[in-house]
Amino acid sequence: MQDPVSTTSSTQDALNKEMRAASKVTIIGMILDAVLGVIKVIGGTLFNSQALFVDGIHSFTDVASDFVVLAVMRVSRQEPDENHPYGHQRIETFGTLLLGSILIAVGAALAWENLLRLFAGGISDVPGWPVLVAAGLSVAGKEWIYHYTRRVGQAIRSDLIIANAWHSRTDAFSSVVVLLSTVGAMMGWEWLDVLAAVVIALIIIHIGWKFTWDSVKELVDTGLSQEDTQKLKAIAHETDGVRNVHELRSRRMGHDILLDVHLVVRPDISVSEGHQIGMQVVSGMRQELDNIRDINFHIDAENDEEQAPTSERLPSRKEIRQMLYETMGELPTHSRLRLHYLKNKVHLELFFDAPDKSGDITNEQVRQALEHYPWFGSVRIWLGEP
């Protein structure tokens, strides 16, 4: 049984609204990154600051990542279709993976180049005071765009937008490093500028690795944390009618969570009551974690973890009726047969609307007709409405 997520026009409207918000904040960030990148690259070249130049390259990687975000968000926010019933959000995960890989590659190249300069020695260039101005502008601009982008990412539940926000903040961090190293170089420690360039490159690598590793974990269906899993299990256990939870599996798709849960209930309840119990569990879990997209729940009459699961070779309703017919003749018209498949046995209940419609069938008659079958468990006859 499952709790399906219907795709309606309102859902698509929400997806379009989220895409517009993501596009707007990304374009604003891209323009800011481009302007700061030009200022820092030119400033670093003219005023002898390798750290500011590397920081400018960092800003241009932000521009490239913004292009990735714009392209990926447009595709990932499409509504589910026949070939992608769970949606397209894994494309967003792939985009985050690509963004992280770009950062690692750029950071490694810049770190290697400046390490060679640092080990070679002979550094005598002193950065000029405009470097401080450019770095200060970068800190202010990138800190503002970080808060703006992160707020939008949380509002539309997009890991890619949030990742892009943190990428912007690393630019602010790196500009702080430029400020400090420039002051140190002006005081006579010229090598601090090149060392700062290496530090900034390592910051780029670190953030890129974090994005890449988180994306890889999602692509291989890493589940929820142990803490969140235990919270969801506790909600199921506390739901009236649930006897046990013997399996709960989770995976992520973008910011959303997909769940599969097996619930053990009393074996003698109706199918509709079992489904209602499952719906109560779903409601409780959604209240605990608001980013659960889909929950598939399976209702079990017994705990498969404590004993062997019921064999699929047990006879069906049609086969059991045929066996009863061959030994006892046709059951009365106004009769109902209820079957319970428990512990690899079949337990029968026969219901007759009234005593005079039972056809004088007794428990003993049915037991004698079926007791030589290894699957037979028990039989009970009820007179009156079930």
361: domain CATH number is 3.30.300
In this structure, the answer to whether residues 32 and 181 fall within a common structural domain is: yes
Q: What is the domain count for the chain?
A: 3
In this structure, the answer to whether residues 214 and 85 fall within a common structural domain is: yes
d(CA 113, CA 54): 10
Provide the percentage of residues in the chain whose pLDDT is more than 70. Answer: 84
Sign of CA dihedral 96, 102, 105, 107: negative
Domain's final residue, options 275, 300, 325: 300
**Between these two residues, 84 and 269, which has the higher pLDDT value?**
269
Average per-residue pLDDT for the chain: 80
Domain's final residue, options 219, 242, 258: 219
Choose from 65-79, 88-102, 368-382 the range with maximum mean pLDDT: 368-382
Provide the percentage of residues in the chain whose pLDDT is more than 90. Answer: 6
In this structure, the answer to whether residues 198 and 272 fall within a common structural domain is: no
In this structure, the answer to whether residues 117 and 231 fall within a common structural domain is: no
Domain residue limits at 61? 2-219
d(CA 63, CA 153): 18
Q: Indicate whether 193 belongs to any domain.
A: yes
Q: What is the CATH number of the domain that holds 77?
A: 1.20.1510.10
In this structure, the answer to whether residues 50 and 105 fall within a common structural domain is: yes
Asked if pLDDT for residue 84 goes beyond 70, the answer is no
Domain's final residue, options 196, 219, 242: 219
CB 266 within 8 A of CB 303: no
Backbone φ and ψ for 346, nearest 5 degrees, come out as: -110, 120
Q: Is 126 exposed, middle or buried (0-12, 13-18, 19+ CB in 10 A)?
A: middle
In this structure, the answer to whether residues 213 and 247 fall within a common structural domain is: no
Asked if pLDDT for residue 304 goes beyond 60, the answer is yes
pLDDT at 359: 57
In order of 72, 75, 80, 94, 126, the CA distances from 131 in angstroms are 35, 40, 50, 37, 10
Strands in 2-3's sheet, in edge-to-edge order, are 2-3, 292-300, 256-264, 244-253
Give the up-direction half-sphere exposure of residue 30: CA atoms within 13 A in the CB hemisphere: 15
Which helix (H) or strand (E) element contains residue 102?
A: helix 89-120
In this structure, the answer to whether residues 131 and 172 fall within a common structural domain is: yes
Asked if pLDDT for residue 88 goes beyond 80, the answer is no
Q: Indicate whether 194 belongs to any domain.
A: yes
Q: Indicate whether 311 belongs to any domain.
A: no
Asked if pLDDT for residue 6 goes beyond 50, the answer is no
In this structure, the answer to whether residues 34 and 117 fall within a common structural domain is: yes
pLDDT at 132: 85
In this structure, the answer to whether residues 141 and 242 fall within a common structural domain is: no
Q: Indicate whether 306 belongs to any domain.
A: no
In this structure, the answer to whether residues 248 and 207 fall within a common structural domain is: no
In this structure, the answer to whether residues 182 and 284 fall within a common structural domain is: no
Least confident of 8-22, 126-140, 183-197: 8-22
Least confident of 169-173, 201-205, 281-285, 374-378: 169-173
Other CB atoms closer than 10 Å to residue 350's CB: what's the count?
Answer: 21
Q: Is 339 exposed, middle or buried (0-12, 13-18, 19+ CB in 10 A)?
A: middle
Q: Indicate whether 312 belongs to any domain.
A: no
Q: What is the CATH number of the domain that holds 262?
A: 3.30.70.1350
**Which of 43, 44, 40 has the alpha carbon at shortest distance from 56?**
40
Q: Indicate whether 348 belongs to any domain.
A: yes
Asked if pLDDT for residue 3 goes beyond 60, the answer is no
In this structure, the answer to whether residues 254 and 379 fall within a common structural domain is: no
pLDDT at 7: 40
Q: Indicate whether 281 belongs to any domain.
A: yes
DSSP string, 311-360: PTTSPPHHHHHHHHHHHH-PPPSSEEEEEEEETTEEEEEEEESSGGGSTT
Q: How confident is the model at residue 277 (pLDDT cuts 50, 70, 90)?
A: very high
Asked if pLDDT for residue 148 goes beyond 80, the answer is yes
Q: Indicate whether 105 belongs to any domain.
A: yes
**pTM for this model (two decimals):** 0.56
**Which of 62, 37, 61, 26 has the alpha carbon at shortest distance from 137?**
37
